[in-house]
Structure 1
Amino acid sequence: MLDQLPSPTRSLSGLSREEKTFTFAHFTCEHAWVVGNILRNALRTADVAAIIHISLSSNQTLFHSPSLPGMVPDNEIWVARKRATVLRWGHSTWYMACMFGGEDRKFADYYGLGTSERGKYAIEGGGYPIFVKGVEGVVGAIVVAGLDGDQAHQVVVKAMEEYKELRDGFRSPMRNILTALK
């Protein structure tokens, strides 16, 4: 399944537009639960072990789960590094990888990251920003760790597209009741 995903764009303007396409009206633990489960089900269906992590910029974890057994402690470090990149630069980790041609040294030199700081960030796909309408900056991050960067990016993008379709077609029972009362 993952090998059937199209390759992500490498265009910075295209990636920036893509990120803004998924701006939420608001973002709660309910949103994280749905997005996280879309990701988990997709990865399980593809028989791929990965960690899915969704958190707010305040460090509050809203969703954290392996898709299948087989994760190692190092995957948690990748989650933290991808999350830190998204929150600091406000872009997906794939965007940052494309910006620097995947060259960690070029990235570190450009931002003046010292030796001790370099290990705090990762520039490969799998970290994705959460934007909320009317809120400046990134409010959180969606992270998938355990896949190749381009696949991790595309899995998140496809999950966001699926979430958007579900949301756009969703009519809650309460909304129907309120509409009938008018």
Structure 2
Amino acid sequence: MALSAPSTDPQALMTQETSPEQTFTEFTSETAWSLGNALRTRILSLPSNQRKPALISIALTGGAPLHIVFQAATERGTIPDNENWVRRKRNTVLRWGLSSWAMRQKMVSGLGAGASADQIEAAFVKKYAVASANGGAVADEYAIHGGGYPVRVRGVDGVVGVVVVSGLKQEDDHQVVAETIREFVAGQKN
């Protein structure tokens, strides 16, 4: 089944991410294992126009360094750069407490719909004073591309984990996580 298009409204995205439909009753390494496998199954079931090899990574935030509790490629064809994208998307979620797609949409809404990818990245670097090792317009430690998603647990303040998908189109990276979490949380309540 195809993924629906994600919202491009930053406020709607932030509301969705903190909604009861996206909030786990608990989140353990067993939860991460089940969710990671559900994501892999969902990605492998996508129609050919949305499906590509992807890396799935789930980390708990309870200490330093982060505790990676699930990581798998969906199929052969992922590349080492997927790991870099996972790290950068995860850092974005951890710093701002919202999905990497929502952060992107916040920047787009401030620039207008016609902004180029380079303009969006440059505005992000400037607004948040994030470092660029080479002085350019791309943040080395953060990525505002879809696929990084916060894990929230009912009764716990803040983000307790991060789910990241890297390899699909960025809007699909985001949407597969959002849809799978919604279905997974609905199953937890039964």
CA distance in 1, matches of 2:3, 2:155: 32
Deviation at 1:76, TM superposition (A): 0.4
Deviation at 1:114, TM superposition (A): 2.8
CA distance in 2, matches of 1:25, 1:6: 25
CA distance in 2, matches of 1:27, 1:73: 28
* Equivalent residue, structure 1, for 2:150: 129
Please tell me the residue identity of whatever aligns with 2:55: I
User: Gaps (5+ residues) in structure 2?
Assistant: 109-116
* Equivalent residue, structure 1, for 2:52: 48
**Equivalent residue of 2:24, what SS?**
coil
* Equivalent residue, structure 1, for 2:78: 71
Structure 1 moving runs of 4+ over 4 Å? none
**Equivalent residue of 1:130, what SS?**
strand
* Equivalent residue, structure 1, for 2:114: none
CA distance in 1, matches of 2:165, 2:42: 12
Are the equivalent residues in 1 in contact too, given 2:151–2:161 (CA < 8 A)? yes
Counting only pairs closer than 5 Å after superposition, residues 1-182 of structure 1 correspond to structure 2 as 1=1, 4-21=2-19, 22-46=22-46, 48-57=52-61, 58=63, 59-101=66-108, 103-116=120-133, 118-169=139-190
CA distance in 2, matches of 1:44, 1:94: 22
Largest Rg, 1 or 2: 1
- For 1:55-110, what per-residue CA distance to the aligned partner results, in whole angstroms no more than 9, with x for missing partners? 01230011100000111100000010000000010000000010111611101100
Q: Determine which structure has greater relative contact order: mean sequence separation of CA pairs < 8 Å that are 6+ residues apart, divided by chain length.
A: 2
Please tell me the residue identity of whatever aligns with 1:48: K
- For 1:22-60, what per-residue CA distance to the aligned partner results, in whole angstroms no more than 9, with x for missing partners? 122321011111111110011122353100000012300
User: Aligned-pair RMSD on alpha carbons?
Assistant: 1.5
More helix by share: 1
CA distance in 2, matches of 1:14, 1:86: 17
